[in-house]
Structure 1
Amino acid sequence: MGKRKEERELHETFDLYGADVEILREWDLPVEKVRQVRGVLKIYTTAGVRMLKKVNVSHARLRFIHESLEHLYASGLTAVPRFIRTKYGDPFIVHPTGLYYLTNWLPGKEADLKKTKNLFLAAETLARFHNASAGFAGGGFGHETREDFSAQWGKYRAKLGSYDQHLADRRDHTAMDRVYTEHRHELVKMIDHACEQLNESPYGAVLEWAREHKTICHGSFSRQNLIVDKERMGIVDFDHCHFGHPVQDLGALLSRYMPRNGWDAEIGFAILDVYRGVREITKEEMTVLAAYLSFPSRTLQVVESYFERTRDWDVDRFTSRLRKSLALDRGRETFVQDLIDRYGLQMEAPSFAPQLDDVGSYDLEDEESSSAESARRDGWEEQEADESGPIAVQVEDPQSHVTLARFEEDDEQLEERSQRITQAAHVRQNRPKSKRPAEPQPRRRPSHGGPWTPGRS
């Protein structure tokens, strides 16, 4: 009776996940129990804990991910989840319900980046990742780069025009509509300034360096994908890794976690110093980073979520969130100015964010998205992106989906300034039958034996 119950629970878990339990035969996994953790299955076996993930990408894309991880591991970055090959030697499985891959489950806990100790460790880990990524000769995947910031930013400029048209066609305007309308011109100035500074920066030379050195970006370097085990930090979820320049990951890290620190320059410089202790940042790269941080990603994310209905918030919540985000833009612009001054960058600092008072305390909740939680529409999936929503966004290339970085927000008190700097200094010191990939075609072996049960291969 116990085994029947275990088997029923196993099948229920796989059904809820949208997977076929029979794929476990491909690895001969002696399963003890399974539970879903976000977008993956955590499988307890007699040989250890494993992670099974279903992805909806092309074969070529998944091969790119697999080869990237192998390159990182061979380059010394061992705290990454390598694909476990099937009993037939294939790195992943092609199945009518999707593509699946299996890895070891990295021990540890999700990184709490509210703690500056972990934030600095994340910066060090990111630098080590970028060092290890250089020279990746594999891949062959079509979408090799996603670092064209100016093209993405220009599409967001076009999105604002669609939002304006939507408001013009509506009679009654909400409080959120009014706040957006009031500060829309400042948003446009911030976008245009960032594009101008990026175009005047050595962006082209920086990208050319990245192409020559074959560096990889993680693409989703956020707390959900960072695992801390004692003093060691591992990286998981490489589903969005791609060829690109390290400044993209570094800029996203600062954009995600500096707002909760009020864009404190000391914290920001400590993060950069920790990163630079492992991988130096050239003046050209620092200039591109400053241009990247000039773009109002956080605020545009709120605006996009409201008009395209990607978040189920009421109007008051959207209104409050937009005002707080605009207020944080002033701190962001001040940090960019400090960055320019400290490193002697030849560029113009942004100064367009409005001065807003009485926006409330910093109580922004966690808004980061992880591909472990939900599928991200980034053009790498085989199915078409979901175009639902009340706003028909008009851009030159309707197939391009612009995704801003998602940010962590919380309402806990910030750590004491002295503790932050001390920690910074410390870190600086120290169901149908499964198929295998189409290229190359693997040999097919028949499955033998009776019905599969937990604990039996």
Structure 2
Amino acid sequence: MNDRNDEVLEQYDIKICNTYRARGSYILETNRGIKLYKTFEGSKNRIEFENKVKEHIFMQGYSNIDLFVRNKNGELVTEDTQGNKYILKNWFLGEECNLRSSGDILLAAANLAQIHNLMSNVSLTPEEKKYNRFYYLPDLYDKHNRELKRVRAYIREKTQKNEFETCYLSCYQEFYEQGLKAIGLLQASNFEQLLEASTNSTQICHGNYTYHNILMMKNGVATTNFDKVCLGVQMLDLYLFIRKVMEKNDWTIELGEMIIKEYQKNKPLSEEDFKMLYILLLYPEKFWKITNYYFNGKKSWIPQKNIQKLISIQQQNAVKNEFLDWLNEKFL
């Protein structure tokens, strides 16, 4: 580590025994356990909110969480003489959740239900509630649908179309209709009541509960990287986890059922929860992401991997629809 890092770490009450590089950060072996040290580009208010949520979880007995370490001045963010910002937090020795392992997947599902039970009735100020909400979903979906239409119109006007654009037009209608159906179901649902209930009971979502942020250890599961934590309907977390798992496992119904059953052992789901889960899974989020990446990127050369992603989600859509049909028949 360089002198700049030494300058920052001297501001913490720790003794470092060993250091090694990790993805965009350093892992430190210290007299106070394993820590992770990295640069920070967020705001003070945002990290204080994240820390409040983590402390709330920790105080209820869930210790496998990456709590921030305050420096000698009691601050969460430490600056060097050049104004660069850094954070230090607890860390864990473990492997990322393996989305090809049903054992890992079910442990992660149970872990999500556990932290969801703990992430309610968090004491928040009116300002924290106002500025840390998830996007209002009907408006977000409407915005995404308009972006899909705009990109389709742009591609159709081109006289010469590349492989990506030809493939895009061939599958556009199928995904766009799913987007329209999702927003129609959302507008007809009890989303407003669910959102109001989650706000009143200050229910918190992790915001990015994916395999990168779930560490499988010998003595349990650690949940990390709460930088997208927000006030909102907790089905958003379960939806994201299920979607990521199912995309890697060709939307196998048996696996999806196992995830739901494992989650419900710790946190039962209502019919309204299942409606919300269905709508979230129905919306063609990955198609929109590929669309957004294309429109904001260099159009003269499309990476082959993006073409493959588009082909893959088109090929998977039939089995995804089978899973959605099963979910509808089983729980709705």
Q: Same fold (TM over 0.5)?
A: yes
* Counterpart for residue 55 of structure 2: 70
CA contact (8 A) 1:113 1:119 kept: yes
Greater RCO, CA 8 A, separation 6+: 1
> How far has the Cα of 1:315 moved from its partner?
5.1
Deviation at 1:46, TM superposition (A): 4.4
Query: Within 2, Cα distance between the matches of 1:97 and 1:236?
Result: 26
SS of match in other structure, 1:138: coil
SS in 1 for 2:131: coil
Alignment of 1:42-53 (within 5 A): 42-53=27-38
Q: In structure 1, list runs of 5 or more residues that go unmatched.
A: 1-9, 15-19, 346-457
Q: Of the candidates 297, 310, 321, which is equivalent to residue 285 of structure 2?
A: 297
Aligned to 1:252: 240
- What CA distance in whole angstroms lies between the structure 2 residues aligned with 1:93 and 1:311? 41
Summarize the Cα distance change of 1:60–1:312 in structure 2 as closer, same or farther, 3 Å threshold. Answer: farther
> If the length of structure 2 is used for normalisation, what is the TM-score?
0.91
How many angstroms apart in 2 are the aligned matches of 1:248 and 1:314? 31
Report whether the alignment pairs 1:202 with 2:190: yes
User: How many angstroms does 1:311 deviate by?
Assistant: 11
Q: 1:229-264, CA deviations, whole angstroms, 9 ceiling, x for partnerless residues? A: 125111011111111111000011111111222212
- The one-letter amino acid of 2:241's match is L
1:307 aligns with 2:295: yes
Q: Contact 2:65 / 2:90 at 8 angstroms: preserved in 1?
A: no
1:338 matched to 2:323: no
Q: Is the 8 Å Cα contact of residues 75 and 133 (structure 1) preserved in structure 2?
A: no
Maintained 8 Å contact 1:303/1:322: no
Tell me, yes or no, if the aligned pair for 2:182 and 2:280 is still in contact at 8 Å. yes
Q: Give the residue type in structure 2 aligned to 1:11.
A: N
Structure 1 residue aligned with 2:7 = 22
**1:240 matches 2:225:** no
The more displaced of 316-325 and 222-231 is 316-325
Aligned to 2:114: 128
Q: Rg: which structure is higher? A: 1
Among 245, 249, 265, the alignment partner of 1:277 is 265
Q: Does 1:219 pair with 2:207?
A: yes
Question: Structure 2 CA distance, aligned partners of 1:310 and 1:78?
Answer: 45
Provide the C-alpha distance between the structure 2 equivalents of 1:312 and 1:48, rounded to a whole number of angstroms: 50
Partner of residue 157, structure 1: 145
Q: For residue 42 of structure 2, what is the aligned residue in structure 1?
A: 57
Equivalent in 71, 96, 99 of residue 110 of structure 1: 96
| Cα contact 2:64–2:223 (8 A) shared by 1 | yes
Q: How many angstroms apart in 2 are the aligned matches of 1:286 and 1:47?
A: 43
Cα distance in 2, alignment partners of residues 94 and 136 from structure 1: 29
Aligned amino acid, residue 125 of structure 1: N
Contact kept in structure 2, 1:296 and 1:329, CA below 8 Å:
no
How high is the TM-score relative to the length of structure 1? Answer: 0.67
More helix by share: 2
User: Is the CA contact 2:246–2:256 (under 8 Å) kept in the aligned structure 1?
Assistant: yes
Query: Any idea what the Cα deviations from partners look like across 1:97-136, whole Å, max 9, x if unmatched?
Result: 4443212221222221210111011110000010001111
**Cα deviations across residues 174-227 of structure 1 (Å, max 9, x unaligned)?**
111111112222222111001001111111111111111111111111111111
- Alignment coverage as a number of residue pairs: 329
Contact kept? 2:152, 2:172, Cα under 8 Å: no
Name the SS for the 2:64 alignment partner.
coil
Contact 2:41 2:85 in 1 (8 A): yes
Match of 1:138 in 2: 124
